[in-house]
Amino acid sequence: MTIHKEGFRIIGVSTLLYCLINVFSFYFLSSSLPIISWLIFLLTTGLFVFIISFFRIPRRDMTINENAIIAPADGKVVAIEEVQADEYFTDKRIQVSIFMSPLNVHVNRNPVSGEVAYSQYHKGKYLVAWHPKSSTENERHTVVYRKEGKELLVKQIAGALAKRIINYLQPGMNVKQTDEMGFIRFGSRVDLLLPLDAKVLVKIGDKPKGGVTVVAEW
């Protein structure tokens, strides 16, 4: 397991605060209020471990398959439905939504190889990620991949806790399946808009792994 580059600054600041808080606590409280001092230590240690864990990149054998659409994120499948596209596309699409809790790995990966046809950031609200309107009203970043005449849209969507969406892709780039497309901090959601003739291989409640699980075939 390694630590994602997006976490270096936050982990550095957290380490400094963790040390300062606990040095202060043990120096001023350990003799008179030892229980309080130990509670502070346990709480700050738990929070510190959580922050490090949030930015983890686990070792995985990635799935490379030119006919497959790979999960762009870890999480839980919370929606599979036919929707009317409201950005880039004007037709109907199959939407597969993956909810990412704060405990999930938050690296986002390219579901397919191909050309980046569209990449656009949108300011917005911070509704809970499972809210039906989060896909259109929350802060989000939309990417469209083009491969052999077929196109696939992916939305990184902020949640109530996610305050920064990071995306590394620009229009015209050629990208590889399962390479990093971006990162979202502290709980969020990723939507895929698939062609209607795509064969969806997951169901609601499934827990895909980013870069590993085949979500659909086209």
List active site positions: 188
Q: Is 59 within 8 Å of 193 (Cβ atoms)?
A: no
- Whether the CB-CB separation of 111 and 152 falls below 8 Å is answered with yes
CA distances, 143 to each of 10, 193, 206 (Å): 27, 10, 24
Q: Which residues of 126-146 are buried (b: 16+ CB within 10 A; e: fewer)?
A: ebebeeeebbeebbbbbbbbe
Q: Record the tokens describing residue 66, joined without a space.
A: 């030119």
Query: Torsions phi, psi of 208, nearest 5?
Result: -70, 160
DSSP-assigned beta bridge partners for residue 79: 97
Across the strands, what pairs with 192? Answer: 96, 154
Helix axes 8-28, 34-54, angle to 10 degrees: 170
Q: How far apart are CA 23 and CA 13, in angstroms?
A: 15
Distance of CA 208 to the CA centre of its chain: 12
Task: Tally the residues of the chain.
Answer: 218
